[in-house]
Chains A and B, each alone.
Chain A
Amino acid sequence: MKRMLVVLLLFPVLALAQASFDKFDGMDDVTSVIVNKKMFQMMGNVKNKESQQYLNLIKKLDNLKVFTTQSTRVAGEMKAAADKHIKTAGLEELMRVNDRGQNIRIMVKSGAGETIVKELLMFIEGSGKENESVLMSLTGEFDLNEISLLTERMNLPGGEQLEKAKGKKTK
């Protein structure tokens, strides 16, 4: 009976644990973008030539949250919340990039396949003039390669160089 009570009390806590970043939504210094499953489904109707690639990926997404801030204090809170979430949700660090003073960390929870991801968390710690920190959480069941492909075809510096590297490799 006692054990049952403990389970009963924990149940709502566990169920609500997912909402660990929701406190940033509506904060004064934070710009937030939250897109849920329902909206992802509705996006299916947006017809656009170049969007097909995105739509294929979007179908596999459940939830997207992006919180952007220029406040150092909020950035600190984001970092703490991210660290806490990494522990509770059991995320693994995928990569850590230091690019022009921006510290980027990407954490994932892997799914069935090697490149399949169930949950992804990206934290960009801003510094310098812009000092813009970004906390991004993405859930669903998607392929990391699909994410990578999105910018490869566009003329972004990262994609271009990657193409080059791949080209050389196959020589």
Chain B
Amino acid sequence: MEQDIDKILENYFEGETTLEEEKLLRTYFCSADVAEKHKDFIPLFRYQIAEREVKSARQVQVPSRRNYWWAAATCLAMAVGLTVVLNRPAEDLGTYDNPEEAFRETQKALNLLSTNVNKGVESVEYLKEYEETRKTIFKN
């Protein structure tokens, strides 16, 4: 027995022991009859056993599936929030800070648009006019 332990110990310090052998070492050092020459190693193995008993006081939570839904919901909320924030510049005043100046420019732009719309309407009216004239001519 003692020789065995010697050999296993030697391997242990070389890091070549199997799990079985290490278990054997631990039971040996926990037992009452430890040989005199091995007494020096008792604290080492007893310490290992004591440490095995230590448990974490904190409870580790494994994320559940429900948390993913929360994450998805948060993402959605953030996307909505971001779009709202990003679209806010629409509430800005624009190029001008002065209403009168902006009014003048708007007036100019609307006039340009109006003139062009009328150009189109005018040609339609012109066509109608032509159509009516044509009708009267052909009637007579």
Contacts and interface: CB of A to CB of B under 8 A. Distances in A.
A112 interface: no
Describe B's contact surface by its main secondary structure.
helix
A104 B119 contact: yes
Interface stretch (A8-16, A74-82, A84-92): A8-16
A40 B107 CA distance: 11
Interface in A83-128: 94-97, 99, 104, 106, 120, 122, 124
A97 B76 CA distance: 46
Nearest to B94: A34
B90 interface: yes
A39 interface: yes
Contact of B87 (A15, A51, A58, A151): A15
Nearest to B123: A97
Nearest to B68: A1
Contacts of A106: 113, 116-117, 120
Contact of A97 (B72, B111, B120): B120
Given A35-B106, A39-B93, A97-B123, A158 B87 contact: no
A150 B110 CA distance: 8
Contact of B90 (A37, A66, A154): A37
A38 B97 CA distance: 11
Interface in B60-81: 72, 75-76, 79-80
B66 to A, nearest CB: 14
A12 B119 CA distance: 39
A66 B129 contact: no
A71 interface: no
B91 A15 contact: no
Contacts of A156: 111, 115, 118
Interface in B86-106: 86-87, 90-96, 99-100, 102-103, 105-106
Contacts of A169: 125, 128-129, 132
Nearest to A152: B118
A36 interface: yes
Given A104-B119, A165-B126, A39 B94 contact: yes
B126 A120 contact: no
B60 to A, nearest CB: 26
A8 B75 CA distance: 8
28 contacts: A12-B82, A16-B83, A33-B95, A34-B95, A35-B94, A36-B93, A37-B91, A39-B96, A39-B102, A46-B103, A54-B107, A54-B110, A57-B110, A64-B94, A96-B120, A97-B120, A104-B119, A106-B117, A136-B112, A144-B117, A147-B117, A148-B114, A149-B114, A150-B110, A154-B111, A161-B122, A162-B122, A169-B129
